[in-house]
Copies of this chain bind each other. A is one copy, B any other.
Amino acid sequence: MSSTTTDAKQRLLEAAIEEFALHGYDHGTVRRICGKADVNVNAVKYYFEDKRTLYIEAVKEAHRARHRAMPPGGLIPPDDDPNGDPAIRLKAFIRQMVTMAVSAQKRIDHNHLLIFREISDPSEATRDIVQEFIGPHFRRLNDILRQLLPKGASDSQRHMFAFSLIGQCMHYKIAGPVIGMLISEEERRQLSAERVSDHIYQLMMAGIERAAKTDSA
């Protein structure tokens, strides 16, 4: 059995996910990764040729790991019925994304962190990530919005709504440190995933309803 080799490679991958999620590709060092994985620095060349390849494989592994451990609370909820109430689906979508954005600090989910980082700081692997990982979610969001927006809404109109939603959710993660400097710590605690996601939901629904009115007018 080549159990040890698989173990070492797997440990290396998981350590890389954590390292790159916390520090990004550039700031992440192979020495720290190997330290976490308890393997020699040479292992990265042995198993992955170089740092760049290790990173790409780590992102892919993070993707696979997320699909493996989907329930409960996965990104694509198993009960997201395409024929369900689109408003409820939208609310759930927002809730999940905000939770990812604001709660990634306490319950550290390196797989999610890595994806967020890829979006805000693209690397050579971003094209793959977008196609394999982000694309499906973006299409699902667009499906929901298509049902909610008036029939006459154009693709670009719908996409702007999608970007508005995504932008709001991601802002709490990306600008997290700056937000912490702009408001008091006490108020920061009040911005729970529940409150924030509800706010975004109300805002989106209000905009959608307005679009419906101006469209019919």
Contacts and interface: CB of A to CB of B under 8 A. Distances in A.
**Number of copies of chain A assembled together:** 2
Contacts of A203: 161, 164, 203-204, 206-207, 210
Interface in A163-191: 163-164, 166-172, 174-175, 177-179, 181-183, 187, 190-191
Contacts of A172: 163, 167
B120 A195 contact: no
Interface stretch (A28-36, A66-74, A78-86, A152-160): A152-160
18 contacts: A26-B27, A119-B175, A126-B177, A126-B178, A130-B178, A131-B181, A134-B178, A135-B182, A156-B190, A160-B196, A167-B171, A167-B172, A167-B175, A170-B171, A171-B171, A206-B207, A206-B209, A207-B207
